[in-house]
Structure 1
């Protein structure tokens, strides 16, 4: 393992340990508070927004997704097709959800595949420059790259708790920078560059 990968792994483990240590009831309250920020995101009706089904101690983004749906957004969730490919399937009210692995659920194969223009992105750690450390498999980096190859530049809004911020994420050329992050402290925009 390279020194850079080892450092990322260490930062990931430390940030996730801090997140895991948060009181579960506090996490629920913080997740509900983040949902109230839906208006700050200024998502136009009809906009396709990808969310995610929370796993372990992640922010429960479902209240935020519900608020965005109420304002007219079309929602989708990630579906991992194989070891390298993730697509986004439409989340329709009342449609059954299936086990997606990693303790998550999502729309089944019959759901329409959509290309989101706004992506709510989970992460393990982030820094003040907009760099993130994911969970290590690279699914989001590859999915964002595929959207860009199609000519789409999705708006990337990370979702995390403040305790997941680190002083600096070591970045590599393939890493995708975030534009914004929503935490319990509110919506922050990262400087371009």
Structure 2
């Protein structure tokens, strides 16, 4: 019998939360070189990331490295009016941050900091689990699936790249019709790629 999505979420969240602070730190440093090896990174200027929570791979060292190389970083914010959708706001060292309804850190909403999703070069997405086919299992809210859906199967718009610890890989995931597979997933040890 295959595991349900909820069972997989629970199992993988426990696995990544069991990583020691040294393992988390090492993974966050190794992630920087893996991300920098992506062919799309050289030309990318507007990059969406997120602030890690619940044992996710720590993105702060990567964010700081990208700031240092002159890239602009944007973070997701839950859309205040369009239910289930995300906005992306510029994140700078001076940005004011707050907690959203899920307890996740995001920038305080400011109209002038918003970038249209279509103008992002890369969206690095969080995920709970992934499989060898590029399927991504998130927390179940569907925010990233809705964000990426308009660009699926097109050559324009942002490239979506998943970020995960190596322990978040499973052999295969149960999927739903709305799930959007990723073409690339980066872990601290390697880059996974699939054809579109």
For the criterion TM > 0.5, the same-fold answer is: yes
Q: Tell whether 2:24 aligns with 1:27.
A: yes
Task: Summarize deviations over 1:37-71 as a string: whole Å, max 9, x none.
Answer: 34212413562111001112110011112222222
Q: What SS is found at the alignment partner of 1:53?
A: coil
* 1:165-176 aligned within 5 A: 165-176=169-180
Q: What SS is found at the alignment partner of 1:35?
A: helix
2:157 pairs with 153, 160, 163, which one? 153
Q: Tell whether 2:123 aligns with 1:122.
A: no
Residue 107 of structure 1 corresponds to: 107
Q: What SS is found at the alignment partner of 1:36?
A: helix
* 1:62-141 aligned within 5 A: 62-82=60-80, 83-110=83-110, 111-114=112-115, 115=117, 116-141=120-145
Moved more, 99-108 or 61-70: 99-108
The two structures have a TM-score, normalised by structure 2, of 0.85
Contact map agreement 1:46 1:74 (CA 8 A) in 2: no
Contact map agreement 2:34 2:189 (CA 8 A) in 1: no
Residue 49 of structure 1 corresponds to: 47
Q: Give the distance between the partners of 1:161 and 1:104, measured in 2 at CA.
A: 19
1:123 Cα deviation from its structure 2 partner:
0.5
Contact map agreement 1:45 1:72 (CA 8 A) in 2: no
Q: Give the distance between the partners of 2:52 and 2:78, measured in 1 at CA.
A: 15
CA RMSD of aligned residues (A): 2.4
Structure 1: segments with no counterpart, 5+ residues: none
1:133 Cα deviation from its structure 2 partner:
0.5
Runs (4+) off by over 6 Å: none
Q: Give the distance between the partners of 2:5 and 2:49, measured in 1 at CA.
A: 24
Q: Give the distance between the partners of 2:43 and 2:130, measured in 1 at CA.
A: 29
1:147 Cα deviation from its structure 2 partner:
5.4
Contact map agreement 1:117 1:152 (CA 8 A) in 2: no
The two structures have a TM-score, normalised by structure 1, of 0.86
Q: What SS is found at the alignment partner of 1:98?
A: strand
Aligned residues: 189
Moved more, 44-53 or 125-134: 44-53
Q: Give the distance between the partners of 1:46 and 1:165, measured in 2 at CA.
A: 27
Residue 14 of structure 2 corresponds to: 17
